[in-house]
Amino acid sequence: MDSRPMLFFAPEIPMSNEEFRLLRDFVYQHCGLHFNEESKYLLEKRLGKRLQHHRLKNFKDYYYLLRYGQQKEQELTEVIDVLTTNETYFFREEFQLKTFTQEILPEIRARKEKAGDRRLRIWSAGCSTGEEPYTIAMLLLDMPAFRDWQIDIIGTDISQKVLQAARKGVYGSASFRATDSSYLQRYFVEAEDKYRVADQVKSLVTISHLNLFDTPRVALLGKMDVVFCRNVIIYFDLPAKKRVVESFYQRLRPEGFLLLGHSESLMNISNAFVLRHYVHDMVYQRPELAAPEGL
């Protein structure tokens, strides 16, 4: 007799075009994530798991559960966790980080010192599992010029699952694919085949839950000197990109910087920023004075 365990595969539940539109619009309105017709299979596959979890027979029932169910908030959290792309690693985009430490930060420092202001506020918007805000913290700890400054690095994301990992701060090898070993030695503690980010680094970083489309909550963040929003707006359509970039403009102090991912630009999205050309990279800056109306 064959002693292998029998495997039962639940049949995949097909998503009708109507169900796709209902769910796609619902997700878009909540968080700006945009799924076109070609990515229907993605919603079908990822949300299919939630259907099975609730033992539902079709996606329409799932849609009603998500809209009107008793635990709709909690279910929405699950949806966000399965639909977001959370890829990230320490010291991602080396040239941009060189521009940040060698050109942008000295410029900010000189300007603020003149005004007697020794506070620096940096927002990592869409920080995923935390590698980005902790990278920024390590870079700043390595700069003696900021030693006696008050530094606040705020990492935010919409996915509760990645935020949990960010708060824990324990990372495996995939996170270190671009990390110089000297950082591992100085800013991490070994913990069972993994590495825990040192308290000194953590103390500069606050991790918070935030949906970039929750405008009133975004406004509560206060003013920033630099906003990192890398590899996040690629998942939004044009109106959603415009809305989020406008909120970055509002959060930035005059002459503050917006750092996007290397495949992202503000072309067709916003004319409100100036593109600054530095030695290693180009970055966007909010001008000192607002452009006159109509420009």
Ligand X SMILES: C[S@@+](CC[C@H](N)C(=O)[O-])C[C@H]1O[C@@H](n2cnc3c(N)ncnc32)[C@H](O)[C@@H]1O
Binding site for ligand X (CB under 6 A): 31-33, 84-88, 92, 126-128, 132, 157-159, 162, 211-213, 230-232, 235, 261
Nearest distance from C-beta of residue 162 to ligand X, angstroms:
5
Tell me how far, at minimum, the Cβ of 235 lies from ligand X, in Å: 6
Q: How far is the CB of 237 from ligand X (least distance, A)?
A: 12
Considering the complex, state which of residue 61 and residue 214 has its C-beta at the smaller distance from ligand X: 214
Nearer to ligand X, 60 or 243 (CB): 243
Question: At closest approach, how far in Å is the CB of 2 from ligand X?
Answer: 44
Cβ proximity to ligand X, 156 vs 285, nearer residue: 156
Neighbour tally for 161: CB within 10 Å: 17
CB of 243 to ligand X, least distance (A): 10
Closer to ligand X by Cβ: residue 126 or 169 = 126
Residue placing its CB nearer to ligand X in the complex, 15 or 212? 212
- Closest to ligand X by CB, 149 or 235: 235
DSSP the chain: ---SPP---PPPPP--HHHHHHHHHHHHHHH-B---GGGHHHHHHHHHHHHHHTT-SSHHHHHHHHHHSTTHHHHHHHHHHHH------TT-SHHHHHHIIIIIHHHHHHHHHHTT--EEEEEEET-TTTHHHHHHHHHHHT-GGGTTSEEEEEEEES-HHHHHHHHHTEE-GGGGTT--HHHHHHHEEEETTEEEEPHHHHTTEEEEE--TT-HHHHHTT--EEEEEE-SSGGGB-HHHHHHHHHHHHHHEEEEEEEEE-TT---TTT-SSSEEEE-SS-EEEE--SSPPPTT-
* Smallest separation (angstroms) from ligand X to the CB of 146: 22
